[in-house]
Amino acid sequence: MLNNVKVLLVDDNPMVLGLLRGALTPLANVTTSTDSADALLKAVDDPPDLLVSDYRMPGMDGHQLVEKLKSRPNTAGISVILLASKADISEKLTHHEPIDDFVEKPFFLKEATHRIKRVIDKIALEKMAKTVASDGVLRGSLSQMNVIDLVQSLEMGRKSCALNLTNKDEKCEMYVSEGQVTHAVYGSLVGDPAVFKVLRWTEGNFQIDFEGKTSEQTTQLNTQGLLMEGLRLLDESAKRDGDEAEEEDDVLLDS
């Protein structure tokens, strides 16, 4: 989904920087830097929505860069993902509040892109929410953000809302409380089966009413469980139909 989310990507390894930029460019507006000092100047001049930075770099490291950005009013709200080793994450970084997520090094390019995309989608939804109509309802197209991305973004943002999905003559009504899907109805399907039915939708429209709520609890799985089981069912369906696409080669990256 191409959107107006601005990402500042920082890594002193040109190969890693180039591969990540190529993977993220279809998802956001990406600016790159090969060192923290240059990244700091770029972020102050044009604050990004998301900083994706290597942790271990010559001179100012990634965490020092984050601290400097968080100390400035115009960059304090930037979301942050650090690329770091397992040891650095567990020993030095896990308990630092300003970090939104980590990508453990070495990493596969697809996996890292997926984790970064989750945060990009959350930011995109928050930006869209600031442009709601006078009736308080956010409207959009599933070609911009599909059902899986929507539900995942609502979970990451711990949002509460009524989510209405339409695809031609089909409709689904879903309720989310602090990021957890609590109730869903799709025709005669209620709860988990209703969610599974619409996860494949990439066309149609959505409406999000952040004032919408319900006391009904029909889902059995939490949001992550619904997504994982729904994706498993989609994969099984693709195999049965003979539509399983050949996977592309992945790339393992380290500093």
* CA–CA gap between residue 165 and residue 181 (Å, rounded): 14
Q: Is the pLDDT of residue 53 over 80?
A: yes
pLDDT of residue 242: 60
Look up residue 107 and give its two tokens. Answer: 């990493």
Q: Is the pLDDT of residue 244 over 60?
A: no
Q: Is the pLDDT of residue 59 over 90?
A: no
Instruction: Annotate 18-56 with DSSP letters as a single string.
Output: HHHHHHHTTTSEEEEESSHHHHHHHHHHS--SEEEEESS
Q: Is the pLDDT of residue 245 over 70?
A: no
94-145 residue pLDDT tens: 666 578 888 998 889 999 999 999 999 999 988 888 877 677 789 989 988 8
Band the pLDDT of 24: cuts 50, 70, 90.
very high
Q: Position 150: which residue type?
A: L
191-215 residue pLDDT tens: 999 999 999 898 999 999 999 999 9
Look up residue 227 and give its two tokens. Answer: 């997504």
* CA–CA gap between residue 205 and residue 56 (Å, rounded): 43
* CA–CA gap between residue 162 and residue 167 (Å, rounded): 17
Residue 83 CB-half CA count within 13 A: 26
* CA–CA gap between residue 135 and residue 42 (Å, rounded): 38
Q: What mean pLDDT comes out for the span 34-55? A: 94
Q: Is the pLDDT of residue 248 over 70?
A: no
Band the pLDDT of 167: cuts 50, 70, 90.
very high
pLDDT of residue 86: 85
From 3.10.20.440, 3.40.50.1360, 3.40.50.2300, 3.40.50.740, which CATH number describes the 6-127 domain?
3.40.50.2300
> Domain map of the chain by residue range?
6-127, 132-241
Q: What mean pLDDT comes out for the span 161-171? A: 95
Q: CA torsion angle for 196, 214, 173, 218 (degrees, to 10)?
A: 30
Band the pLDDT of 9: cuts 50, 70, 90.
very high
